[in-house]
Structure 1
């Protein structure tokens, strides 16, 4: 049973992934993503939720960007906002911009 069925509506535009597409980012990270996140990526995917025409958005971060965030590479290399999070207590994969 798809536990994420309620997300399949016209407000959201998600891009589902194949398990194979999740493996390369996990290898870069050195561990597997949490099981629920892997399931979400396969059943629903990543992209923007409830996107509107303003400058605000909510986004499920794609696997490669999630790894960049956790390894503090590329776009996230010098992001001071990440200092407030203890990555040992969770895995950041959702972004809200207001």
Structure 2
């Protein structure tokens, strides 16, 4: 299992997705999720990675990804959500805290880079999750 390092850590909390969630979100957005994101959803689901600094570290479920992109429900009045309007080929998928969000580039490749604002912080979702599991603030050193 590719993501066993996350699943086997009892400080992390992950939950399987309901059947059809990925397809529903993609259909509503008229966007295909990256293959790597779909693989993670199918293998792990959504949930939380342990935090060393009190961060949320929430791997968003597909419906939350959709709601964020469409500015609906919990995200209708999200602070500074308009900053993310220009992310045409990226999807917000990870919430470090209320103001720190990560996006994943939608590509046709097997792997998809992860960004914090406009700065690439990992070449793939797998690399991002490995780094986050070791140090959930690793990306701060990359943006200085």
State the TM bucket, normalised to the shorter chain: 0.7 to 0.9
Q: Which has the higher contact order (CA 8 A, sep 6+)?
A: 1
Q: Cα deviation per residue 1:48-79 (whole Å; 9 max; x = unaligned)?
A: 11168x86311001111110000111121232
1:22: Cα distance to partner? 1.5
Q: Which moved more, 1:60-69 or 1:25-34?
A: 25-34
> Superposed, which structure 2 residues align to 1:17-96 within 5 Å?
17=17, 20-50=20-50, 56-85=55-84, 86-96=86-96
> Are 2:17 and 2:61, in contact at CA under 8 Å, matched by a contact in 1?
no
Partner of 2:6: 7
C-alpha change, 1:19 and 1:32, in structure 2 (3 Å) is farther
Q: Which runs of 5+ in 2 are unaligned?
A: 99-144
Q: State the 1:89 CA deviation.
A: 4.5
* Residue in 2 that maps onto 1:97: 97
In the comparison of the two structures, how many residue pairs are matched?
96
**Which protein is richer in strand relative to its size?**
2
TM-score by length of 2: 0.57
Q: TM-score by structure 1 length? A: 0.80
Flag the structure with higher helix content.
Answer: 1
Contact 1:57–1:97 under 8 Å retained in 2: yes
